[in-house]
A and B are shown apart, each in its own frame.
Chain A
Amino acid sequence: MGIPVFQVDVIIPTQTRYLRLIGHIGERIANELDTYTGDKVQLAYDLNLVLTEATANAIKHAKTDSPKETVRILIQIEENELIIKVFDHGQGFDLKNVEPLDFANPQETGMGLFFIKTYMDSVRYTMTPEVNILEISKKLQ
């Protein structure tokens, strides 16, 4: 793991009204990546989506919607990699139990992690008694 060029650390209540803010932060970060040679407009959308899905997932799995319950989102930008860590205190879930999408028989739920896996290079979920961490990363070209 390299040294972050910069990082953004946000703590929000477990309320979906903050998804817009988190998504916009992702878009703005994409615009700040001066050395990124790929399609920045697409990267902005992808980061908006991935951060929205990861945060919504943490909110969904939170124990309560009490204003005191929080989700922490840490976004680290290194020279060649972007790493997102979403910390929650909910019941957690097992990535291995996430069903792949059934394209022939589409369902209303389960697409969020599919998007995260599709747009990012690695996804890892760690559960501990204190905190759960969804860690996702993307190589920056």
Chain B
Amino acid sequence: MKLRYETKQEYEVIIIDEERIDAHNSGDLKEALLHKIEQGNTQLIVHLAQVRFIDSSGLGALLAAYKKINAGHGKLILVHVQAQVLAMFELTRLTQVFDIYAELDDVLAHHG
């Protein structure tokens, strides 16, 4: 799982440099996100612009991270979600769970 990290204001941004998240790499994603939370990061943004495919295990990895950060009153925000990937969140109604923004700047403007 290729991931890059940036800091923007109070947010730790995790950029997923993969076209595909499936059962082969979703475990790595989950581990990386949980590690960030365990390190004390409470404001995470997951940048999904490169991701054009996600399966149930990928959604599960994001959901696991959401539950952990939410339990500590932190935030996990998704940005740049491609249309077909967004459709998966809509189908499972996970759009009601995650904060999803079109652009990173929208998050910074809204919460900054």
> Which residues of chain A have C-beta atoms less than 8 A from B63's C-beta?
106-108
Min C-beta distance of B64 to chain A, whole Å: 5
Whether B94 pairs with A20 at a CB distance below 8 angstroms is no
| Other-chain residue from B56, B61, B64, B93 in contact with A115 (beta carbon distance below 8 A) | B56
B42-64 near A? 1/0 per residue, CB < 8 Å: 00000000000101110111011
| Other-chain residue from A16, A103, A109 in contact with B24 (beta carbon distance below 8 A) | A16
Chain A residue at minimal CB-CB distance from B23: A56
| Other-chain residue from B22, B61, B93 in contact with A19 (beta carbon distance below 8 A) | B22
A103-120 near B? 1/0 per residue, CB < 8 Å: 100111111101100100
> Which residues of chain A have C-beta atoms less than 8 A from B60's C-beta?
107-109, 111
Q: List 28 A-B contacts (CB under 8 A).
A: A16-B23, A19-B23, A19-B24, A42-B84, A45-B53, A49-B53, A49-B55, A49-B88, A53-B55, A53-B56, A56-B57, A101-B92, A106-B63, A106-B94, A107-B60, A108-B60, A108-B61, A108-B63, A108-B64, A108-B67, A110-B56, A111-B56, A111-B92, A112-B55, A112-B57, A114-B56, A114-B92, A115-B55
**B80 within 8 A of partner (CB):** no
**A96 within 8 A of partner (CB):** no
> Which residues of chain B have C-beta atoms less than 8 A from A16's C-beta?
22-24
Given A16-B22, A101-B92, A106-B93, check contact A45 B59 (CB 8 Å).
no
Q: Which residues of A contact B (CB under 8 A)?
A: 16-17, 19-20, 23, 42, 45, 48-49, 52-53, 56, 59-60, 101, 103, 106-112, 114-115, 118
Min C-beta distance of B28 to chain A, whole Å: 11
Of all A-B residue pairs in the complex, the 9 with the closest CB atoms, nearest first, are: A111-B56, A108-B60, A16-B24, A112-B56, A56-B23, A103-B93, A16-B23, A19-B22, A45-B84
**B97 within 8 A of partner (CB):** yes
Interface residues of B in 63-104 (CB under 8 A from A): 63-64, 67, 84, 88, 91-94, 96-97
State the CA gap A111–B91 with chains docked (Å): 10
> Which residues of chain A have C-beta atoms less than 8 A from B24's C-beta?
16-17, 19-20
**B20 within 8 A of partner (CB):** yes
